[in-house]
Amino acid sequence: MSRKITTNEHKKIVGERIRQARQMAGFNTIASLTECFPDWSERRLGNYENGTSLPNPLDILRISKETKTSPCWITFGIGSIRSSDRDLQAIRYQNFSHLYEKMNKSEQLELRKAIKLKPKEVNHHLDNPYFKITETMCYKIERHLKKSKGWMEQQHVEMDGLCDFFPEDVKELLSIYSNLDSDARAMLLDISRTVKTYKKKD
């Protein structure tokens, strides 16, 4: 059974996604993004990123607008990372960073051998979301981890830290939803609303 997420854990997970959004948008420092918000201090954005405080929905909208990321992804970790289109580099980065950071040292060593990268090169990838993760690198990761071809280019909501605290059935639903295209998502939501309406009539 999944345990309940604490407020502090929730803040840190959302803060990590805000940091990723900032870096993917090319804002290398907190100060550079804060310039887009004249009424904000660096400390305010810094507190959001390090998980000291949780941004309200309007602040998340402002961050998502400037970083061109989806507010739904920042808040819940589901849906496309980019508001407009699937950004393969962003998805590859998210998958690689989650995979690597959850591995123990021995597993990290084996993965580095498989993709033929030194620790410094791996850290460069982790620190720079726009440092290209190539198709060849993706293929080597998929092969090493026995994942299906194209796995690295699919968004996996179950790899987001917040998902660890959800019940198994909710995780499954989120995973299904996050891997559907927009038409299929609309269909799933329609089915859910129908079930909800039907349940009310009982």
Residues 122 and 174 in one domain: no
pLDDT of residue 195: 80
Is there a domain that residue 119 lies in?
yes
Average pLDDT of the segment spanning 133-155: 89
We report the CATH number of the domain holding residue 12 as 1.10.260.40
> Which residues span the domain enclosing 179?
167-201
Residues 182 and 129 in one domain: no
Residue where one domain finishes, among candidates 50, 76, 102: 76
Q: How many structural domains compose the chain? A: 3
pLDDT confidence of 201, banded at 50, 70, 90? low
Burial 1-33 (b: 16+ CB within 10 A, else e): eeeeeeeebebbbbbbbbbbbbbbbebeebeeb
Instruction: Report the distance separating Cα 61 and Cα 47, nearest Å.
Output: 17
Only one residue has tokens 């996996």, namely 156
Residues 72 and 128 in one domain: no
Is there a domain that residue 191 lies in?
yes
In this predicted structure, the answer to whether residue 98 has a pLDDT above a threshold of 90 is: no
Tokens at residue 96, please?
Answer: 């690689």
